[in-house]
Amino acid sequence: MSSLQEQLLKAGLVDQKRLAKANQEKSKQVNLARKKRAKKKLKADAPGQQLQNRKIQRDRELNQRRQEEVRRKELAAQAIQLIDINKLDRTQGEHPYGFVYKRKVKQIYVTETQKNQLVEGQLVIATCVKSDGRKFELVPAAVAKKIVERDESCVIDIGQQAESDSNQNDPYSEYRVPDDLTW
């Protein structure tokens, strides 16, 4: 069986030019319909694309927060390690030394030389949380600066060194004010 176009051509009702023109028009309409469907599909996908972009942005933000949390934990672990390595022995301590920690007065027992070094700013009180609770330790001021770079919440008593440095030009600096008053 032959197609309708071939039959019309044999009957002489149409010529070759009209047949080619009709095929060309038909292919244009098919292409135009295909383009319209593609545009509709893109328009339908636009909200989905926006949703996907939002999800990607949210995932990036969550990943960045996780990385910051991991970095913060690493720095806290480094600070605790510095405290553990450089802490001074206080087992012979018999003199109480009071300090303020989170609006509460805390007390540790230190030796006389450690107490003098604390007053002069050569030693600093640092804290860390271990499995058996919060511990307060004495560390040298140089180590305390390294600890502050990693986690400033671990160092408690660093402010006295800054005060003693600023008192270098004080005319009354040679007169010692007792800080061991017990009531």
User: Could you read off the pLDDT tens digit of each residue along the chain, which spans 183 residues?
Assistant: 468 778 887 887 788 888 888 889 989 999 999 988 888 777 766 677 788 889 999 999 999 999 999 999 998 888 888 888 888 888 888 888 888 888 888 888 888 888 888 888 888 998 877 766 778 888 998 888 888 888 888 888 655 444 545 556 777 777 776 666 665
Number of domains in the chain: 1
The predicted pLDDT at position 99 comes to 84
Residue 3 lies in a domain: no
Residue 4 lies in a domain: no
Using DSSP's 3-state secondary structure scheme, residue 111 falls into coil
The predicted pLDDT at position 171 comes to 78
Residue 144 lies in a domain: yes
Distance (Å, rounded) from C-alpha 171 to C-alpha 143? 30
The predicted pLDDT at position 175 comes to 74
Please name the amino acid found at residue 80: I
Residue 10 lies in a domain: no
Write out the DSSP string of 162-178: HHHHHGGG-TTTTSPPP
Residue 45 lies in a domain: yes
Residue 168 lies in a domain: yes
With a threshold of 0.75, does the pTM exceed it?
no
User: By the 8 A CB rule, do 115 and 72 touch?
Assistant: no
Residue 55 lies in a domain: yes
The predicted pLDDT at position 69 comes to 95
Distance (Å, rounded) from C-alpha 87 to C-alpha 140? 8
Residue 77 domain boundaries = 17-183
Distance (Å, rounded) from C-alpha 26 to C-alpha 110? 99
Residue 5 lies in a domain: no
